[in-house]
Chain A
Amino acid sequence: KAGVTQTPRYLIKTRGQQVTLSCSPISGHRSVSWYQQTPGQGLQFLFEYFSETQRNKGNFPGRFSGRQFSNSRSEMNVSTLELGDSALYLCASSPWDRGETQYFGPGTRLLVL
């Protein structure tokens, strides 16, 4: 099976712009989660989608949003980018239920100038 794929892998944006990141889960996986990784804050949970519904949300401002499509692919959007949004954004998928192992993609590295 192909692993979790994320596009694009690298992105440079300027403050105030918006960005959309894409994640394709492992075939058959229905849960997709997003995480932000920064040197200062480490790995922080953004949100989880299951069957097109947001099941859980981390402590991030409303500028961070996401969605999941019927084929389980997911996108996350960040509006009005700030310098502090520079990070590695990781997507993870898991097969079905709660507590199952999550499999991570390679991440999208976002640099905000």
Chain B
Amino acid sequence: GDSVTQMEGPVTLSEEAFLTINCTYTATGYPSLFWYVQYPGEGLQLLLKATKADDKGSNKGFEATYRKETTSFHLEKGSVQVSDSAVYFCALSDLNAGNMLTFGGGTRLMVKP
């Protein structure tokens, strides 16, 4: 079945550092890929998405490119802020499975001033 693997955390960075959170996936079809963010005590918020190979999703300074050849969707940000501290989830949605999202395990990011 489909699966998503993302780097384990926590990831601890200083403010203004460069962020990369790795995400790779396994899918039988042509999935859509997502990054969601979860702040303490809240639900999930969509951060960005890409629906086909070579698409780049971007939002709030975060970017991720859908790489079919490496089955990856790594999240990057050039300069993190304390307010980016949260848990980040990579997910895929396979058109053959309706709207079911398959999630990675989540990566906790802590940004220190």
B-contacting residues of A (Cβ < 8 Å)? Answer: 4, 31, 33, 35, 42-43, 45, 48, 50, 55-56, 58, 90, 92, 94, 98-107
Contacts and interface: CB of A to CB of B under 8 A. Distances in A.
A104 B99 contact: no
A101 B106 contact: no
B22 interface: no
A103 B45 CA distance: 7
B43 A48 contact: no
Contacts of B49: 101
A101 B43 CA distance: 15
Max chain A CB contacts within 10 Å: which of B49, B93, B100, B104?
A: B100
Contacts of B32: 99
B44 to A, nearest CB: 4
Contacts, number: 66
Given A45-B100, A101-B49, A104-B36, 7 more contacts: A31-B99, A43-B101, A50-B99, A56-B100, A92-B44, A101-B34, A106-B42
B99 A100 contact: yes
Would you call the interface of chain A mostly helix, strand, loop, or mixed?
A: strand
- Report, as a range, how many residues of chain B touch the other chain: 20 to 34
Nearest to B36: A104
A104 B94 CA distance: 18
Interface string B63-99: 0000000000000000000000000010001110111
B43 A99 contact: no
Nearest to A43: B103
A61 to B, nearest CB: 18
A98 B95 contact: yes
A98 B46 contact: no
B98 A98 contact: yes
A94 B46 CA distance: 12
A101 B46 contact: yes
B50 to A, nearest CB: 11
Contacts of A55: 98-99
A69 B26 CA distance: 34
